[in-house]
């Protein structure tokens, strides 16, 4: 009963995977993320901004053509092997720079035409093909030198920043300072009898300067306050996987219908392959038993469905296991009509943020697992 407290479980329904790397035909590599150290990349921020823009303004003009590289969508692309040349396959002739062979060839051509080196150089200067100001390190045509092995000469070091000029400043900082100066002048004109002290002015100027830019976190995008007239409303609900739970029971039919729609559109399953029985066996049955520990999160440990409700309709469901040391992502299914929102990436970022929230209550819970990476399985390569 309590075994799940000490191990990480990767499962499909009640079937638990046990990776035995020296025996299995498909090596399974665990994907683990340290949620507390996670930093969003540019592509992550792009997905978060896209969702925020869609919710607040309903704008999908730039995102309609984008489709998330999930599962079978990239199977054909990954299966193709692109030809390339490694260092070991490149011939020596391709790596050799312009050197002696070329010089001898030029000399032989000059002998055939009966021209001397001086005549050739003079002709090049007149035609403009030879630089007038030659550097001392520049090789003389027709003469082998140490620079024959070097294709490009190193540039000379610059003088650096001009110390006589003030350092560069951001335009917004300059605007803030000008605005504050104008405000101080207006106040001094209004209260001529009691102008502001110099110390007060310095204090206001220091507070007006913007703080150094800090990288935005997932929470900065997810928990931002939306305007009252927002185009859409997105709500994420954590529902225990139990038919005794009223929320899970009331949303079961809608969730099962969404699962079937996703499986048929993305994985090309037949209706018989993704009915309610298959849905229950795959994503509702779990070997974990719900448990509430005194030092654990308020939701407790066990299996959950994280439902994404958009305007009163479920558009995605993330199946997760909450364990004392981690949040394990089991599966995700979503409405293909909303694939332009990159729900696979967005849900993973939300689950990382959720792991951080649980960590505040349960300090040992600090990891986020995304199952296995199996290179030989085409449907898993998107990871």
Residue 326: closest CA among 37, 9, 2: 9
Residue 257 domain flag: yes
Lowest model confidence (mean pLDDT) among 54-63, 98-107, 312-321, 346-355: 98-107
Task: Please report, for the domain that includes residue 245, its CATH number.
Answer: 3.40.630.30
Residue 363 has pLDDT above 90, yes or no: yes
Chain segment 27-38, per-residue pLDDT in tens: 788 899 999 999
Q: Indicate whether 304 belongs to any domain.
A: yes
Kindly report, residue by residue over 74-103, the tens digit of the pLDDT.
333 334 333 334 444 444 444 444 444 555
pLDDT at 5: 38
Name the more confident of 13 and 371: 371
pLDDT score for 373: 85
- For 26-50, what is the mean pLDDT? 91
Rg, C-alpha atoms of the chain: 33
pLDDT of residue 54 exceeding 90: yes
Residue 104 has a pLDDT of: 52
Count of H-run helices and E-run strands, the chain: 12, 8
pLDDT tens readout for residues 303-314: 999 999 999 999
pTM of the model: 0.61
Pairing of strands 234-240, 302-310: antiparallel
Assess if residue 343 is contained within a domain: yes
| Alpha-carbon span 370 to 383, nearest angstrom | 9
Give the range of the structural domain holding residue 30, as residue numbers without chain letter: 10-57+216-222+229-380
pLDDT-derived band at 114 (thresholds 50, 70, 90) equals low
Evaluate whether residue 35 is within a structural domain.
yes
How high is the mean pLDDT of the chain? 75
Q: What is the mean pLDDT of residues 29-49?
A: 93
pLDDT (mean) for 331-340: 96
Question: What pLDDT shows up at residue 220?
Answer: 92
Is residue 300 a part of any domain in this protein? yes
pLDDT one-digit tens code per residue, 261-318: 999 999 899 999 999 999 999 999 988 888 998 888 999 999 999 999 999 999 999 9
Query: How many structural domains comprise the chain?
Result: 1
CA atoms within a 13 Å half-sphere pointing along the CA-CB vector of 283: 26
pLDDT in tens, 158-210: 666 677 777 777 787 888 888 888 887 776 665 555 554 555 555 555 554 54
pLDDT of amino acid 115: 54
Kindly indicate the confidence band of residue 212, based on its pLDDT and cuts at 50, 70 and 90. low
Instruction: Tell how strand 367-373 and strand 326-334 pair up.
Output: parallel
Q: Which residue has the tokens 């696979």?
A: 344
Among 8, 5, 6, 11, CA closest to 287: 11
Between strands 326-334 and 313-323, the pairing is antiparallel
Which residues, including other chains, have CB under 8 Å from residue 169's CB and lie 6 or more apart?
A: none
CA–CA separation, 30 and 294 (whole Å): 29
Q: What is the mean pLDDT of residues 241-268?
A: 95
- What pLDDT, on a 0 to 100 scale, did the predictor assign at position 131? 45
pLDDT of residue 350: 97
**Residue 285: inside a domain:** yes
Residue 43 within a domain: yes
Assigned domain for 312 exists: yes
Stretch (H or E) spanning 237: strand 234-240
- pLDDT in the model for residue 51: 95
């Amino acid at each position: 009963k309590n075994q799940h407290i000490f191990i990480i479980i990767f499962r499909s329904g009640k079937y638990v995977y046990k990776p035995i790397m020296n025996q299995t035909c498909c090596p399974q590599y665990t994907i683990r993320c340290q949620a507390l150290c996670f930093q969003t990349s540019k592509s992550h921020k792009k997905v978060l901004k896209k969702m925020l823009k869609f919710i607040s303004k309903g704008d999908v003009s730039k995102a309609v053509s984008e489709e998330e590289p999930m599962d079978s969508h990239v199977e054909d692309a990954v299966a193709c092997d692109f030809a390339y040349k490694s260092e070991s396959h490149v011939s020596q002739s391709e790596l050799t720079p312009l050197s002696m062979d070329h010089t001898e060839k030029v000399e032989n051509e000059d002998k055939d035409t009966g021209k001397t080196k001086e005549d050739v150089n003079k002709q090049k200067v007149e035609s403009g093909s030879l630089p007038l100001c030659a550097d001392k390190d520049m090789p003389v045509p027709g003469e082998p030198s140490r620079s024959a092995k070097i294709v490009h000469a190193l540039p000379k070091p610059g003088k650096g920043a001009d110390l006589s000029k003030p350092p560069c400043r951001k335009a917004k900082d300059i605007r803030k300072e000008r605005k504050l100066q104008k405000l101080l002048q207006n106040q001094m004109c209004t209260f001529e009898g009691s102008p502001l002290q110099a110390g007060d002015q310095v204090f206001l100027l220091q507070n007006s300067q913007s703080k150094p830019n800090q990288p935005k976190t997932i929470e900065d995008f997810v928990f931002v306050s939306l305007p009252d007239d927002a185009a859409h409303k997105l709500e994420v609900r954590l529902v225990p996987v139990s038919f005794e739970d009223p929320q899970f029971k009331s949303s079961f039919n809608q969730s099962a219908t969404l699962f079937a729609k996703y499986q048929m559109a993305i994985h090309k399953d037949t209706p018989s392959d993704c009915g309610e029985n298959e849905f229950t066996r795959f994503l509702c049955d779990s070997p974990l038993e719900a448990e509430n520990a005194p030092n654990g999160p308020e939701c407790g440990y066990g299996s959950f469905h994280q439902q994404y409700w958009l305007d009163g309709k479920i558009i995605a469901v993330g199946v997760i296991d909450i364990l004392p040391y981690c949040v394990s992502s089991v599966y995700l299914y979503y409405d293909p009509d909303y694939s332009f929102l990159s729900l696979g990436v967005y849900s993973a970022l939300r689950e990382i943020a959720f792991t951080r929230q649980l960590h505040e209550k349960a300090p040992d819970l600090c990891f986020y697992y995304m199952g296995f990476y199996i290179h030989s399985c085409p449907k898993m390569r998107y990871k």
